Structure 1
Amino acid sequence: MMSEGVFYDTLRQAMLAAITMSLPILVVALVIGLSVGLFQALTSIQEMTLTFVPKLAGILVVFWLTMGIMTQALVAFFDGHVIPLIHGGGL
């Protein structure tokens, strides 16, 4: 059975990996959303769909560019934490 310390350490590492993998996409979505919002405020264009296409394009580009890094982070997490727990039983 897995001890509480091992469980919380694995959970902490999983959350760190999730944050590391999602941060580039979230930052790009935030920057594009703020830029489009500022543009809409300055030009008084209040089109609701105007933010969707640039955000989607930016997210797809960043996801494509960082897909390798995200995969490496996920594989490193599983190789370093999850698989040893499965093999060793949490020891």
Structure 2
Amino acid sequence: MIEEIIFFDTLRHGLWVAMIVSVPILTVALLAGVSIGLVQALTSIQEMTLTFVPKLAAIVAVFWMSMGFMTQTMVSFFQDQLVPLIIGG
């Protein structure tokens, strides 16, 4: 049986990794949404698809550019934290 301190430390580290991995996508989504909203407010264009398509394109572009970083971060977390716990180390 796994000790509570090891469980909570692994959970804390996993949540930290999830936050680090999600920051680039969430930051770009926030910046794209605010900038498009500002343009809509300034030009009085209230089209719903105008916010969706550019934001989706920005998210996909950032995901594609940061995919290596995300993969390496998650693989190192699994190799350093989870695999030793699974095999009993």
TM band (smaller chain) = over 0.9
What is the rounded CA distance, in whole Å, between the counterparts of 2:54 and 2:61 in structure 1? 11
1:54 matched residue in structure 2? 54
Q: Within 5 A, what are the aligned runs for 1:3-82?
A: 3-82=3-82
Return the letter of the residue paired with 1:10: T
CA distance in 2 between partners of 1:55 and 1:9 (Å): 35
Return the TM-score normalized by structure 1: 0.95
Q: Deviations over 1:4-53 (max 9, x none)?
A: 10010000011011111110000000000000000000011111111111
Structure 1 stretches of at least 4 aligned residues deviating more than 2 Å after TM superposition: none
Task: Tell me how far 1:87 sits from its aligned partner.
Answer: 1.2
State, as a whole percentage, how many aligned pairs show the same letter: 60
C-alpha separation between the residues in 2 aligned to 1:29 and 1:42?
A: 20
Greater relative contact order (Cα < 8 A, sep 6+): 1
Give the CA RMSD over aligned residues. Answer: 0.8
Structure 2 gap ranges (5+):
none
SS at match of 2:45: coil
Aligned length: 89
AA partner of residue 69 (structure 2): I
1:6 alignment partner AA? I
